[in-house]
Structure 1
Amino acid sequence: MTSDDIDFVITWVNDSDKDWQRQRAIAAGEPESQFSDGSDVRYRDWGLLRYWFRAVDECAPWVHRIHLVTDTRLPEWLDTTHSKLNVVDGRELKGNDVNTFSSRSIESQLHRIDGLTEKYVYFNDDFFLGAPVEKSFYFRNGLPYGVNVPTILADGDLRAHAMLHSSGLINRNFSRTQYLRQVVKRTLRPASGTTLLRTPLFLASSRIPPVSDVHVAIPLLKSVVEEAYAAEPEAIDQARRTVFRSRNEIAPIYYAQMWHLAKGAYFARSRRSIGTFFSLADSNIRSVVEAITHGQVAQFCLNDGNVKDFPHVRDQVVSAFDKRYPEQSSFEMTRGPQPW
């Protein structure tokens, strides 16, 4: 392992795993806050994991290692003996004292993966590569990219509450002056693009406001993540113990991102330059198919949401991926079963 190595970390759930379904049903039957989020769309598998690996093979062959984190049954086509693949048991990583079904729980522990490189990129299983990228896309001069632009949040959304809780911890550890110094030093430059138009909002607030959630692959420095989590151990442990998402905990990865921004441990990029977010419930499916097949967008997120005609939309998305990445990746068995 060298200082130039970059690992990818992806979290994934196989929602057809019967044991996982049973455990989740038991957990959902326990008294939970009315604001908890145990909805099915949080776990619905679109059968796209093989295309995620195909995209990595084609677009980022330089990746040092891929850590696939799951506490569910693996797909039969996956070659678990691949030299670049490390399958991580999410239950062991979270700790045997918890039985959780919240992505925030596992996200609070990813920095503890054995052998994880200092520089790594975190993917949800709905984050995809769409075009070839170099290491410098994610890291320059040893620093990950960052989009340091304030945002406005509305009450009622679980993600918004997690972002507010996270920014509250940032305010507890950094002064507004410290933060603004990094905005001036790192963000006020042409590379930030049109996001510069929103930087005056930093001055309109007496505190450090939440920043935009980029919601595509997230490059991080392990040492900075460890520092951020060590500063607020109770909040991190609360996230680790959260059975389902609720209004009451932070979003650990988002909090780690804001810590990078507060320290100035980032290089500025515009939101548009790093990728595109699609809500499959709201986006024109034609735009989604074009983004997948044309290979012009570096990264994109295909957020599930409440898709009305799930089988039809899924078939179109799978067909688009199969057109874009028709060849098996090195991570697939030569003669393996097709996706479930």
Structure 2
Amino acid sequence: MNNDKIDIVVSWLDDTDKIWQHDFEKHALLASKAITPNSVNTSARFRDYDTFKYWFRGVEANAPWVNRIFLVTYGHLPEWLNVKHPKLTVIKHSDFIPDAYLPTFSSDTIALNLHRIIGLAENFVYFNDDMFLINPTKATHFFKRGIPRDMLTLIPATIYEQFNHFTINNMALIHKEFSKSDIVKKNVFKMLNLKTGIKYLGTTLLQLPYPNISDIMHFHLSTAINKSIYEKLWVRHHDIFDSTCRHKFREITDVTDWYIRLYSLAIGNFVPTRMHKLGTMISIKNVESFDKLIHSSYKIVCLNDDSTLSASDFESVTNNIRSTFEKKFPNQSKFEI
């Protein structure tokens, strides 16, 4: 197995595409799914910032190590995209997701089936289209000797608003396979490591006296993962994964691809790194902070949408974001026509 190659998978959606809109509305009606501001299926989880070309500009400038880029899409493509770029492969949902799960409007289904992409390397980094490389990176920021770079930090049970149940479901599955002592014994020197930073080391230490692990910190950044872990866990948890993937929209009983990362951490399949130094997440409402952030030393920035923004405010905010990106990446990439 060649562990030198590292691919990137990025999922992208154009919520203005008429075919997607028709299918979305049709299946939402069939599922009696109310798409409300407080729902995990709110429109803020689907709308496009029109910043995707800057994602490619960031990768071209800052990830020369990438072997291939697999662009996962419902079927539509940006008009400006150069589909003939030698490193780019366009993958529609129907190219890798089983027919029984299609069409899907659940990011859980998409992410849980990435291992089925034909030609995907054993080592790959999964990006959402709101995660941007803003400074030069090396392959070793993501993998070392074929092992993902990551960080295992124990935290108290946290409140993610609409996402509580996903965290609970993922951790419940972890608890079925591992005791706290299993995880701590296997990872003690990786967890209690100065590479994690004093703040995060302290957070873990405070959780050690408790009998169970409440939660493990998830960083809203790209995820380095081994394809073989996906394959192993689909065999082990087929019924649970299958049930999640049969939902057209995210449901309260679902697990997510975060579980795959959690499992990798639990078995010690990671090389410690300071994830909080690698990147950060920021709300798109914080335009002024974003302008400063994009000139920081972070490698990755994730833009988090806000469902409280009105349509006009969203347009204003994203105009400012695009303006900032244009200053950061003014030159057209070879991924553009």
**TM-score scaled by length of structure 1:** 0.91
1:227-248 Cα distance to aligned partner (Å, 9 max, x none): 2332211121122122122221
Q: Is the 8 A contact 2:279 2:298 kept in 1?
A: yes
Partner of 1:151: 155
Q: Is the 8 A contact 1:12 1:70 kept in 2?
A: yes
Partner of 2:297: 296
Partner of 1:14: 14
Partner of 2:330: 326
Q: Is the 8 A contact 2:7 2:70 kept in 1?
A: yes
Partner of 2:79: 76
**Pair 1:94-2:97 in alignment:** yes
1:96-153 Cα distance to aligned partner (Å, 9 max, x none): 2232201001111001111111111000111111100001111123211122112334
**Cα distance between partner residues in 1 of 2:2 and 2:272:** 25
**Aligned partner (choices 54, 57, 72) of residue 54 of structure 1:** 57
Q: Is the 8 A contact 1:48 1:318 kept in 2?
A: yes
Q: Is the 8 A contact 1:155 1:161 kept in 2?
A: no
**Cα distance between partner residues in 1 of 2:230 and 2:214:** 20
**Cα distance between partner residues in 1 of 2:23 and 2:9:** 25
Identity of aligned residues (%): 33
**Cα distance between partner residues in 1 of 2:161 and 2:293:** 27
Partner of 1:184: 188
Closer/same/farther in 2, CA of residues 311 and 33 from structure 1, 3 Å limit: closer
Q: Is the 8 A contact 1:67 1:88 kept in 2?
A: yes
Where does structure 1 lack aligned partners over 5 or more consecutive residues? 334-340
Q: Is the 8 A contact 1:162 1:247 kept in 2?
A: yes
**Cα distance between partner residues in 1 of 2:45 and 2:54:** 20
**Pair 1:212-2:217 in alignment:** yes
**Pair 1:235-2:240 in alignment:** yes
1:270-320 Cα distance to aligned partner (Å, 9 max, x none): 342121111224xx311112222x152211100112234111101110000
Closer/same/farther in 2, CA of residues 305 and 246 from structure 1, 3 Å limit: farther
Q: Secondary structure at the match of 1:250?
A: coil
Q: Is the 8 A contact 1:285 1:313 kept in 2?
A: yes
**Cα distance between partner residues in 1 of 2:143 and 2:260:** 16
| Equivalence map 1:1-340=2 (5 Å) | 2-32=2-32, 37-97=40-100, 98-154=102-158, 157-193=161-197, 194-252=199-257, 254-281=258-285, 284-292=286-294, 294=295, 296-306=297-307, 307-308=309-310, 309-333=313-337
Q: Is the 8 A contact 1:144 1:219 kept in 2?
A: yes
Q: Is the 8 A contact 2:279 2:301 kept in 1?
A: yes
**Cα distance between partner residues in 1 of 2:74 and 2:292:** 33
Deviation at 1:269, TM superposition (A): 2.0
Where does structure 2 lack aligned partners over 5 or more consecutive residues? none
For the aligned residue pairs, the C-alpha RMSD in angstroms reads 1.8
**Cα distance between partner residues in 1 of 2:18 and 2:171:** 38
**Cα distance between partner residues in 2 of 1:239 and 1:305:** 25
Q: Is the 8 A contact 1:36 1:246 kept in 2?
A: no
Q: Is the 8 A contact 2:106 2:249 kept in 1?
A: yes
**Cα distance between partner residues in 1 of 2:125 and 2:320:** 28
Q: Is the 8 A contact 2:5 2:123 kept in 1?
A: yes
1:36-68 Cα distance to aligned partner (Å, 9 max, x none): 533111110111111000000000011000000
